[in-house]
Amino acid sequence: MRVGVVGARGYTGGELLRLLYMHPKVEVTYITSRQHAGKPVGIVHPNLRGLLDLKFEEFDVSKASEKCDYVFMAVPHGASMDITPQLLEVGLKVVDLSADFRLKNEEEYRKYYGPHKRPELLGKAVYGLPELHRKELRGAQFVACPGCMATSAIIGAAPVVSSFKVDLEKIVVDAKIGSSAAGREADESTHHPERTGVVRPYKVVGHRHTAEIEQELTGLVGRKVKVALSAHAVDIVRGILSTLHFFLEEGVEEREVWRAFRNFYSESPFVRIVKQRIGVYRLPDPKAVIGSNFCDIGFEVDEDSSRLVVLSAIDNLVKGASGQAVQCMNLMEGWDEGLGLNLPGLFP
């Protein structure tokens, strides 16, 4: 299948190219970047030098239509709502990695992002989290991939809120995240001497991903779920760890949590439950998933059974973005969900 990547200069764009290069059923035929049009891909993504012989082009919908069967949108929020509708109109299948079509509710969108240009399309895209929407993704034409923090939070929270009595008003999601999540544009806050060595709280209330996490968890349990999300920048390039603190309304035992997690993800090849008694990597740590599409989840129950802590680790550029998008593509095309993605991460 011929695929295009619109916005191929950024980190999620580059990661798509890396993953698609290894995918047995697709060929990348079209990559766009306004800034780098005409330049070979290796100037921007030095890991692809000598492997991928492609040049960036300016985006043009008729070119896209002609050269591709399938398009990944890896442009910033706001830009996708201009381009994606054009692609859908010419009959292309689209996975959108931006935030533009994740939310179903226009008001929620406005609250977190401002006015939407194409509100009639909100709700048209399948929310691209296979662990929750596997069935709807099969055969879908238009998919909106979750945010990276939302991915880790929802996968960690879904089995808990759907299995146990927890205080749904007081769920804390404390996220720690690498610098690549901020994108490829340099600014003062990402300047190496400033960004190195930080534990920088950057959005401790009102984080945008709150909206999609609440949308999905509320949809899952049928009652309003409220999430207190706080994000912190830490000194890694790739990776997210979300620590989820739940307050339990009645006691649980460890084996019940094990069972809930196992059942919930029995058909999810990319969720690993990590809770070991020995070794250095006893609980999820982004270090163990870097470069791979896995989401590692694990947990601990407070001795007095009043609190359940869930840990959820992903590579923000893979399971949190480009790998998940490929996973969605596999489902949309009716292929094996893990095609081209069953790759070990890089360690150490």
Q: What residues act catalytically?
A: 148
Distance from C-alpha of 230 to C-alpha of 271, rounded to nearest angstrom: 23
Distance from C-alpha of 160 to C-alpha of 166, rounded to nearest angstrom: 8
340 counts as binding a second copy under rule CB under 8 A: no
Which of 292, 293, 316, 330: binder of a second copy (CB under 8 A)? 292
272 counts as binding a second copy under rule CB under 8 A: yes
Residue nearer to a second copy on the CB measure, 121 or 198: 198
Looking at residue 160, its amino acid is V
- Exposed/middle/buried for residue 325 (C-beta within 10 Å: 0-12, 13-18, 19+): buried
Which of 194, 249, 256, 336: binder of a second copy (CB under 8 A)? 194
x/- letters, 239..258, toward a second copy (CB under 8 A): xxx-x-x-x-----------
Helix (H, G, I), strand (E, B) or coil at 21: helix
- For residue 307, CA distances in Å to 228, 247, 302, 310, 332 come to 16, 5, 5, 10, 38
343 counts as binding a second copy under rule CB under 8 A: yes
x/- letters, 203..232, toward a second copy (CB under 8 A): -xxx-------------------x-x-x-x
326 counts as binding a second copy under rule CB under 8 A: no
301-320 positions binding a second copy, by CB under 8 A: 301-303, 306-307, 309, 311, 313
Residue nearer to a second copy on the CB measure, 171 or 332: 171
87-146 positions binding a second copy, by CB under 8 A: none
DSSP H or E segment with residue 153: helix 148-163
Q: Which residue has the tokens 């050269």?
A: 67
- Among the candidate windows 71-79, 85-93, 191-199, 212-220, which touches a second copy by CB under 8 A? 191-199
- Among the candidate windows 79-87, 91-99, 258-266, 297-305, which touches a second copy by CB under 8 A? 297-305
Write out the two tokens for 233. Answer: 């920048």
Distance from C-alpha of 174 to C-alpha of 94, rounded to nearest angstrom: 32
48 counts as binding a second copy under rule CB under 8 A: yes
168 counts as binding a second copy under rule CB under 8 A: no
Give which of 217, 244, 240, 252 is closest to 309, Cα–Cα. 244
- Among the candidate windows 47-55, 137-145, 320-328, 329-337, which touches a second copy by CB under 8 A? 47-55
Distance from C-alpha of 55 to C-alpha of 43, rounded to nearest angstrom: 10
210 Cβ partners below 8 Å, 6+ apart?
112, 227, 229
- Among the candidate windows 113-121, 136-144, 178-186, 327-335, which touches a second copy by CB under 8 A? 178-186
- 199-233 as b/e: b if 16+ CB within 10 A: eeeebeeebbbbbbbbbbbbebbeeebebebbbbb
* Min separation Cβ 92 and a second copy, Å: 26
44 counts as binding a second copy under rule CB under 8 A: yes
